[in-house]
Chains A and B, each alone.
Chain A
Amino acid sequence: MQAFTVHSGLVAPMDRANVDTDLIIPKQFLKSIKRSGFGPNLFDDLRYLDEGQPDQDNSGRPINNDFPLNAPRYNGASILLARENFGCGSSREHAPWALVDYGFRCVIAPSFADIFRSNCFKNGLLPIELSTEQVSELFDLMYASEGFSLTVDLHQQCVRRPGAQDMPFEVDSFRRDCLLNGLDDIGITLKSSEAIRAFEEQHRQRAPWVFELLEV
């Protein structure tokens, strides 16, 4: 996993509440058996006026000019500013894969859905919760100034803006550590193999049926 320490980047808006993972990456792209290549279809139903298909050349498709990410001023954005309950719905990890593949490293919102938040951390994408008021303030600043950028410092746990006070944020300490060091969860857990084996021995006494192979 790509480590995340300090990141500075252009901010782009996703200015609506309850953005679900179907909207982030529509179902037809979930047929891929790969982890990469979802970026061109991030927010596909909003970016284009027609229905996209997997492995399609997008260059000839009709663009939705009302969708902010299509505006030149947000070209190259790497921080997404969003409203409450971002990432609700399906557990598809294709949602953070698409955001990362597009070039986002960080999403800032007042709240996130649980499974989406967890999926972000596994992919080097930092979900930052700020208050509703702080997020509204950032939206106002972003709309008011083209090229509006922020710096996200995971070490110091704060969002830095030009000429104003830093905005501190909370982050799960385990997840922070994994992100800062680019650590793989599985490697960490396998260090506890002996504890897992020991647990299994007593669990097997309590619920032996759990350990029987489901022969099909």
Chain B
Amino acid sequence: MGNTLYDKLWDAHLVEQRDDGTALIYIDRQLLHEVTSPQAFEGLRLAGRQPWRLSANIAVPDHNVSTMAAERAAGLSALADPVSRIQLQTLDDNCADFQIPEIPLDDERQGIVHVMGPEQGATLPGMTIVCGDSHTSTHGALGALAHGIGTSEVEHVLATGCLIQRKMKNMRVTVDGGLGMGVTAKDIALAIIGELGTAGGTGYAIEFAGEAIKDLTLEGRMTLCNMAIEAGARAGLVAVDEVTLNYVKDKPYAPRGAQWSQAETLWSALKSDQDAVFDAEVVLAAASIEPQVTWGTSPEMVTSIGGRVPVLEDMKTDTQRNSLARALDYMGLEPGMAITDIRPDVIFIGSCTNSRIEDMRAAAAIVEGRRVAPTIKQALVVPGSGLVKAAAEREGLDKIFMAAGMEWREPGCSMCLAMNADKLAPGERCASTSNRNFEGRQGFGGRTHLVSPAMAAAAAITGHFVDVRTMGGQD
């Protein structure tokens, strides 16, 4: 019986298998940010411990940075929110104290940790990668074993270079055939979550396979793996192929010369064997996937753009009926209403899910030469890193967004989780390219609809959700 990609990554990092079923797994790379690391560093300090291996780590501030150009230009000491300022300063201080490499706030390479990592080649195929952030699953797109951990585990990895783990089960989600025009990785992710449910992947590492996945760019695969956690799976994976190697080659921290040849040979084997057996298999037809829009307060509450908000009679159990009633009440929606009748107040294009250059391009292609609808109060475009921002500006995308009436911001997590000043007011409705539509996620009382960048851009123009395929601009 062959091995899955997950089995191979696990075996290659197994330090010790213990009788009680737990294992010690070696961690190649740990990404650190300001929110989930301070208590871990404090733990090291209290115990008098030093980092096991400095070369395992890289830090970057992202979660609660300002996205306003003037505030950013004035430096950390000028950050308006004093609580955020202390947390960001603490990251700088901890990195200095423990000699952890940190990309500072004013560096062009700064960005959302899951955009920066692959962009710098700090995260690479074949690695085990962790971060105190559940969207670490993103890096699985490189053919790496990557998942989120809690702060105690951040401290554990800092102190020991390892994690105590129990092996997950294997699931393969195959998306057969080619995607339709205007349908993106985000729509695949949401359609899969709609199929599996928000806990369907709990206990599994999910490998995404099939023609539609092979056809995705590496950025698209990151969008998909990013949302594996929204189906409950800590890790998402895609096998290494030419797309992966072409993406990684020449990244700043990627191996070069003779090491590149060694890496290419090692990484090319990072795929599941033909006869590998998965504990669970799910197959979707790409042709059946349409642009998706979430209507509720869990990512599984999703339908296609031609769909309707469910009615209570659609639900089978009391718990489901209660969830639906609560979600509709929170979201301010009527049962049975058409998705295209939902009118957002705010547009957010950004987050570790959708803030890479191709996301910026997809959104710009829709808004080019058009104006944001007058009913839209605010339309934010937040690139995932300073390098994405610079690349977009070289292509003139910033001008397209601003001419349409959108705001072009500095990189950071921004309104995905609203830890900075970018947040919804109570009752406000947002078409968002982020990953979670939980109650209050984008601001107290805020209402989130998850969509692709092109769909968010289309809603910005028309003032309501609309099938992006009727808008042109997707070639």
Contact of B441 with A by CB under 8 A: yes
Please judge, given known A-B contacts A85-B232, A174-B20, A195-B24, whether A27 and B417 are in contact too, CB under 8 Å. Answer: yes
Do B16 and A173 have beta carbons less than 8 Å apart? no
Which residues from A are CB-within-8-Å of B203?
A: 114
Q: Which residue of B lies closest to A54 (CB)?
A: B83
Task: Output the least CB separation between A5 and chain B (Å).
Answer: 19
Q: Answer whether residue B22 sits at the interface, using C-beta atoms and an 8 A cutoff.
A: yes
A107 to chain B: closest CB distance in Å? 15
CA distance A88 to B299 in the complex (A): 11
- Interface pair A17/B319, CB less than 8 Å apart: yes
Given A33-B86, A185-B152, A196-B15, the answer on whether A213 and B444 have CB atoms closer than 8 Å is no
The residues of B that contact A185 with a CB separation of less than 8 Å are 152, 156, 164
Chain A residue contacts of B161, Cβ below 8 A: 196, 200
B124 at interface by CB-CB < 8 Å: yes
B contact residues vs A (CB 8 Å cutoff): 12-13, 15-16, 18, 20-22, 24, 26, 28-29, 35-36, 38-39, 42, 47, 49, 52-55, 57-58, 63-64, 81, 83-84, 86-87, 90, 101-104, 107, 120, 122, 124, 126-127, 132-134, 136, 147-153, 155-156, 159-162, 164, 166, 198-199, 202-203, 232, 234, 253-255, 259, 262-263, 266, 298, 319-320, 322-323, 326, 417-419, 426, 436, 438-441, 444-445
In the assembled complex, the Cα of A92 lies from the Cα of B133 at a distance in Å of: 7
Total interface residues in chain A, CB < 8 Å: 65
18 extra A-B contacts, CB within 8 A, seeds A22-B417, A51-B445, A85-B199: A17-B320, A22-B440, A31-B81, A32-B83, A33-B42, A85-B232, A90-B133, A90-B436, A91-B36, A91-B149, A113-B202, A114-B234, A118-B149, A185-B156, A192-B16, A192-B162, A196-B162, A214-B58
29 contacts between A and B (CB under 8 A): A16-B319, A17-B319, A18-B323, A22-B417, A23-B440, A30-B35, A33-B42, A33-B87, A34-B38, A35-B151, A51-B445, A90-B133, A96-B150, A114-B203, A115-B134, A115-B149, A115-B150, A119-B152, A119-B153, A122-B150, A123-B152, A174-B20, A186-B47, A186-B160, A196-B160, A200-B161, A211-B53, A212-B253, A216-B103
Whether, in the assembled complex, A127 has its beta carbon less than 8 Å from a beta carbon of chain B, the answer is no
Bound-state Cα–Cα, A27 to B122, Å: 27
Task: Check: A20 CB closer than 8 A to any chain B CB.
Answer: yes
> What's the minimum C-beta distance from B73 to chain A, rounded to whole angstroms?
20
Contact between chains at B202 and A20 (CB < 8 Å): no
Contacts of A164 in B (CB 8 A): none
Say whether A200 contacts B419, CB under 8 Å: no
Tell me the residues in window 175-216 of chain A with beta carbons closer than 8 Å to chain B beta carbons: 177, 185-186, 188-190, 192-193, 195-196, 199-200, 203, 206-216
Of A32, A85, A96, A189, chain B has the most CB atoms within 10 Å of the CB of: A189
The 8 nearest A-B residue pairs measured at CB = A51-B444, A119-B150, A122-B152, A33-B38, A93-B150, A91-B148, A85-B199, A209-B255
Query: In the assembled complex, which residues on chain A have CB atoms less than 8 Å from the CB atom of B55?
Result: 210-214
Interface centre among B22, B155, B444 (most CB of A within 10 A): B444
Q: How far is the CB of A23 from chain B (nearest CB, A)?
A: 6
Given contacts A113-B202, A114-B234, contact A92 B36 (CB under 8 A): yes
